[in-house]
Amino acid sequence: MKITVIGAGNVGATTAQRLAEKEYGDIVLVDIVEGLPQGKGLDLMEAGPIYNYNCKIVGTNSYEETDNSDLVVITSGLPRKPGMSRDDLVKVNADIVKSVVGQVVEKSPDAILIVVSNPLDVMTYVTYKVSKFPRERVIGMAGVLDTSRMRNFIAMELNVSVENVHTFVLGGHGDTMVPLARYTTVAGIPVTELIPEDRLDAIVKRTRDGGAEIVSLLKTGSAFYAPAASIVEMIDSIVKDKKKILPCTVLCNGEYGFYDIFIGLPVKLGKRGLEQIIEIKLNKEESEALKKSADAVKKLCQGISF
């Protein structure tokens, strides 16, 4: 495999590190800052003899080295600063993503694109429109991260292993995301039987504010360890054709009653990318929350011109 990571900041560089350690294939790290991807790429290569990975890692400021990539991860864009919402980034990051996608598609017309840039749902929509790729090959990373955060908070609350906690978060990657407590279990036990409603509501709120909480703590950046791990989990299912069901941002063609909108849903990921959108039964409250989330994403997308 050949995997390109666009953006050599914290998310991109950490993603490249995790990919190298798993030896999925050769890696190209791209960034506009001269020397940054080259330096980080070389640094990662020099860690290979210690961690026993043999993949080639190339840092570059151009897209020439990205040709014929199988997977392309797009992390480009400005990060959030304290007080900023993901939505504040729409216009500036849309222009960045448009430029990036145009160059990626020219060099790798058969690649699967994984979008990480914020606001995630809108940038995945922008990527889809610019690339003109089928929906199976344009996927946004959001739900895997949000779900991981919720699993972690539940495990912390109950003092149990995170491996016992299973849940997923749907909807847009922002304040309107839809954590589904009703579908959450701990070692098969419904979480509603283990955590009081008020504490569960607090966990849901902390999940929604998970990114902002880290931004406020770091003050000069945003989360990158968990986002990178989330990207790699998606790539793992694609590269190994595991067909794992993961919450990802995908284009709806009638699923859940939505059309022509990217939103987080449970999907099956395999070697072709998106292989199936899993439709689960939602109650009235959950359906209304998902529709509210979709409406918020659609509103942001309407302000972008192509």
Catalytic amino acids?
A: 173
CB 22 within 8 A of CB 1: no
Task: Return d(Cα 192, Cα 14) in angstroms, integer.
Answer: 35
Task: Return d(Cα 66, Cα 4) in angstroms, integer.
Answer: 6
End-to-end CA distance of the chain: 32
DSSP state of 222: -
Which residues fall within 8 angstroms of residue 202, CB to CB, at 6 or more apart? none
Q: What are phi and psi of 256, to 5 degrees?
A: 60, 20
**Cα–Cα–Cα angle for 231, 277, 269, rounded to 5 degrees:** 35
Task: Return d(Cα 125, Cα 85) in angstroms, integer.
Answer: 18
At 265, which amino acid appears?
Answer: L
- Per-position b or e across 13-36, b if 16+ CB within 10 A of its CB: bbbbbbbbbeebbbbbbbbeeeeb
Which residues fall within 8 angstroms of residue 20, CB to CB, at 6 or more apart? 27, 44, 47, 48, 51, 53, 55, 57
Tokens describing residue 157: 């609350």
The region that residue 74 occupies, defined by phi over 0 for left and psi between -120 and 50 for alpha, beta otherwise, is beta
